[in-house]
Structures are given as C-alpha cells and as structure tokens.
Structure 1
Amino acid sequence: MGSHDEKGVGVNDVALVQAFSKYFDLVVPAEGSEEMNEIFRMRYEVYCREFRYEREEDCPGGMETDGYDARSWHCMVRHRPSRYAAGCVRLIHCEPEDPSSLLPLESKFGESLFHPELRPELLDRGTICEISRLAVHSTFRRRVGELSTPLGNLASFNFAPDQIRTFPLVTICLFMAVLIVGGARGKEHGFAMMEPRLARLLKLSGFQFTQVGESVDYHGARAAYYMDLTHALRVVRASRVLGKLYSTAQHRLEETTGWRETA
C-alpha cells in the first residue's frame, strides 16, 4: 500500500468529521469513466513521480495502471472545493471458479505468509479481497505550498484552517470505502501488503490488522496483514465518531451509485 498521513490518523472529534463531510466526497467511479482516469493520473503522480515505486516509462500517458485494475473496485475521495482527487484505494477480488485468479499478495509474497489459518487459500475465494493501491495526493499530506504537481497547482488554493485539520481523515475515509464496497460485494476477509507503521496508525482508528506474513523488502519494509471486514464494520458502527463518518460516506455512495453494504 502506498502513501498515507504520517502524523497519525486517530479520530475522536465529531466536529472534525462534520467538517470533513463538508469538504470531501466519496466516489466509486464507473469503469472507463473520466473519474477512473483521475485515479490513474493521481497514482502516477504518487507512485511514479513522488515515491518512485514504479517507472514513469512504464506508465504511458501519465497514468499508472496494472493488470489487476480490471478485476478491482476502485474508490476515490474528492476534494469538493477544488474538484481534485484527494485519495484512492482499490479492492482486488478473485474469480472463485478460476484457480489461477490469485490475489497479488498470494502470487508475489505467498512464501512469506506464516499464519496457520488466516491465509487466502484456506478461505472461501468469493469472500476475500486485497486492499491495494492506497494513495493520498501530496497536497493532503504536506503543508500547503510545498509541492505543485501536473494535476494542477493545488498549493494555490487558500485552504482554511478547518479544512487542513480534516486532511488526515482522507485515509480513514478510504478505509470506510473498503468496508462499504466490500460489504456490498460480500467480502468478509481483507488482505493488504503494508508498512507496519501504517498498520499501527490505522489501529488508532479502530481498524485492527493482524500481521500474517514475514516482513519483506518491497519499496521498503512491508508485510502481509489481514483484517476481518465484518468485525471492522461492527466496530465502526459502534463508534460515536467513526460511525458518523461511515454513515455520511455510505449515504453519499447510495445517492450516487446505489452501492449498499450487506454485512
């Protein structure tokens, strides 16, 4: 998984969540839409130009894509005042009837998995997914004015202090999208390759990940993690603050796409 806010993602303020809802929208783009191209351009900006995880020459047209995009559900958080994409994430799913339809984590890092039970091959293939390509635009991670990008000079926007305070919630909202979209598609088990630091930060917000793989060198130290999506949804719903953010995000998605979680 990619970029995230490194100053912490704990949420304990209802007013902050209300402010976030004022400035950001959660979107599930339609396949082939211009919004999907926005996601690919932002991934290029983050994964190629900023972090150098991927080679720019492998991303024609300034869009970072791969073969897993075709069997993924993509989510985007949009900054309402500027209309720019602030962050994105995708859920890669398997074709249950196709033995060769593996999660990337299985294909690339299967030998690193050590948990005796929380393994993709031991679970119902129709209920598993991989949380992947998490990216947050640098403007919503850094101090305003530090970076101008080909996506537009977002640094020129005069962000009010109450907007800037909401920026760390972009990452949290992306994980809300994982729960909403995963629930709508019957996914109960989520896997991800991530930095241990990100797993610790997410734990502050109630997203409990269990490490199920040894640390490997993949754009820095990464390890395989597992999250029980059904349990995470219950925790979020029971939270006074996170429940508010979840309800707002779900309502926005239902209005625009009809997506409704079923867990």
Structure 2
Amino acid sequence: MPLHPKMRPSVNRRFDDSYQVILADTEASRAVHRKIRYQVYCMERRFENPADFPAGEESDRWDAHAAQFIVRQRDSGAWIAAIRLVLPYAASFPLETLYCLTPGHADHIQRRQLGEISRVCIIRSPNPHHGNPYLDCGFGHVTPDRESQVMLGLIRTIVVYGLERGIEHCYVLVTDAFARLLRRIGVVLHSVGTATEHRGFRAPYLMGLRETAASLCDRSATIHALFARAIDAYQLCSVLDNLARVPLPRPGPLPYWGDATVTRPYSHRYRPLTPTRRAQLGSILSIS
C-alpha cells in the first residue's frame, strides 16, 4: 500500500534533519552498536553465527581499539545504522589478518595516518524487533531510497573524525558490488591487494579521506553542503541526557598535523585541529 503523501519521506530533506550520528563513548551506547551489528551480521546477512553471541550483541577483538558510531532517526529516536573505525594504535587491522594486501602498498604512509573502516551496518528489516528477541521497538530500519543518504552521512563522520585525529587513509574490504556503489556516490578507492574469501569474495582498498571528500563535494551542491556542516558530523553520546556516562579509553596525544599542501578544493595549508575548531572544519577543507 502506498504511503500517504504526508508520510512519504522527502528525498530533498537534509541528512542532518533526519538523522543524528553519535559516537558511542558510553557502555550503553556501545551495547546499541553491538545490537545493530548482531541484527545485520547475524540475523539479516548471516555472516556470523547467532549462537556465538548469546546476549544478542555481535563483537570482536578490535572493538577495544575502535571508534564506534551509531545512527538514529531524529523523528522516532530509533537506532538504524552503525559503523566502526579501527584506530592506528591497534596491534593490527582486521584486513591485515587476511594476508591479501600487496607488499609495500602503504610504504609512503605513516602508521599513525592509517585506519580501517569496518562493520558498516544499515538495518533493512522493517520492525527488526519482531524477528530479533534482543531488540525492542527502539530499533528501526532504513528504506532503500534512503540508504545512500545514510551512507553519505556515515562517510562524512569517518572523514571528519579521522582528519581530526591525523588519520589520512582508511582500509576497506568490500565486495565488487559495494565498491561500485561507493564509487558511484563519489568515494575514491585504490586497490591495494587481491580479492579474498571472507563472507564472499571481497577486495582490499585504500580510501584517502581528503581525496574522497573532494570527490564527493564535486558531485553535487547537496553533498558539498553536507560536508560543509562538519560540526554536525557526530555527537558524543556522553553529553546526552538519556544515557549514563562511562568514559571510553582514549588513545595518546594526537600527532601534530604540521603544514601540508593539498589539491583543490583543499588548496590552502591547514593547521592543527582542536575540539573547539571542528565547527571551522568546513572552511579548513575549503568547503563552505
């Protein structure tokens, strides 16, 4: 049955009007992150065995070394998506344990400038709590026509969070179909190895955060405006009133950014970022 016109989502509605990305820096919010992963990886995709996670929360050894983000709908408050960025201080990246990388592919990149994007999860099942006893009605889903919008919002979050911490490049391990989707919306992927069997054949890529941001901004004025609103890229869960604060262990001091020149549209030099300057990140990246 078609939706009533007043209920039909507007394709022109801004991402930030519809969704909020939250950095899971409390134990309660990290549990939400794990529940979303369980729903997508165990219930929908069957990538993982549900019996391995009797509490209904999918996790692995990289969670302790990652920034975890969750997405909720502003109107309903329902949790609908998640993503994770494994940070440079991890002993290894998940992709490195698969031995599919080309030797020497990242010799020009310092380790502290590397991260890995993983556990990209968007709930697709309507009313997921009906089929997942570990969820309640506080979890929702994303309709197919909004998936690209949510993905763009997640990419902006990774770009902003990564660049704030000196991370310039991120590994991703994706299927050919997902790589085509990412490239179609403007993500720049560089092949850095051979496809390997990991829940289906997947290939390793390196994504330059600045290069990708520039490519995305060139695609449309809408995406350009999305990245210009860097202040909205994510919110710390610990500042929200409805979740108790449990601090997430933080890595050591951020490395000095130094001076660097980058190509258009980031044509001028950038300076070290501080938390109070995230609001200025749009101008630092020459997107305003």
For the criterion TM > 0.5, the same-fold answer is: yes
Q: Give 1 or 2: higher helix fraction.
A: 1
Q: 1:86 aligned to 2:90?
A: no
Cα distance, 1:59 vs structure 2:
1.4
Q: Is the 8 A contact 1:17 1:244 kept in 2?
A: no
Unaligned runs of 5+ in 1: 1-14
Query: 113, 123, 126: which is aligned to 2:101?
Result: 113
Rounded Cα–Cα distance in structure 2 between residues aligned with 1:147 and 1:167: 20
Query: Which residue of 207, 219, 222 maps to 1:241?
Result: 222
- Displacement of 1:38: 0.8
AA paired with 2:72? R
Structure 1 length-normalised TM = 0.76
What is residue 159 of structure 2 aligned with on the other side?
A: 179
Post-superposition Cα deviations, 1:33-57, rounded to whole Å, max 9, x if no partner, equal: x221111001011111221211222
Q: Which residue of 1 aligns with 2:269?
A: none
Give 1:82 shift. Answer: 2.3
Q: 1:104 aligns with which of 87, 91, 94?
A: 94
Gaps of 5+ in 2: 1-9, 240-274
Partner of 2:16: 21
| 1:23 partner letter | S
Are the equivalent residues in 1 in contact too, given 2:78–2:139 (CA < 8 A)? no
Matched, 1:74 2:54: no
1:152–1:104 CA distance, 2 compared to 1 (3 A): same
Distance 1:147 1:210, change over 3 A: farther
- Aligned-partner SS, 1:182: helix
Which secondary structure does the structure 2 equivalent of 1:132 belong to? Answer: strand
1:42-82 Cα shifts (integer Å, max 9, x gaps): 10111112212112222131101111011101112211222
Give the length in aligned residue pairs. 231
Q: Distance in 2 between matches of 1:25 and 1:208?
A: 25
The aligned counterpart of 2:124 is 138
Q: Distance in 2 between matches of 1:122 and 1:185?
A: 19
CA distance in 2, matches of 1:156, 1:77: 10
Q: Which has the higher contact order (CA 8 A, sep 6+)?
A: 1
Structure 1 ranges of 4+ moved more than 6 A:
154-157
1:128 paired to 2:114: yes
- Following the alignment from structure 1 to structure 2, what is the Cα–Cα distance between the partners of residues 218 and 255? 32
> Bigger CA drift: 78-87 or 180-189?
78-87
Distance 1:17 1:188, change over 3 A: farther
Q: CA–CA distance in 1 between the matches of 2:112 and 2:118?
A: 17
1:64 equivalent to 2:53? Answer no
How much identity, in percent, do the aligned residues show? Answer: 24
Question: Residues 193 and 165 from structure 1, CA distance in 2 versus in 1: closer, same or farther, beyond 3 angstroms?
Answer: closer
Q: 1:86 to 1:145 in 2, by over 3 A?
A: closer
**Relative to 1, partners in 2 of residues 1:30 and 1:180: Cα closer, same or farther, differing over 3 Å?**
same
Tell me, yes or no, if the aligned pair for 1:17 and 1:166 is still in contact at 8 Å. Answer: no
CA gap of 1:52–1:182, structure 2 versus 1, over 3 A, is same
Question: Structure 1 residues 145, 91: closer, same or farther in 2, change over 3 A?
Answer: closer
2-structure distance, mates of 1:58, 1:128: 30
Report which of the two structures shows the higher radius of gyration computed on alpha carbons: 2
Partner of 2:267: none
Secondary structure at the counterpart of residue 187 of structure 2: coil
| Cα deviation code 1:183-233 (max 9, x no counterpart) | 111101110111111111111111011222211111111111111112112
Mean Cα displacement is larger for which, 171-180 or 125-134? Answer: 171-180
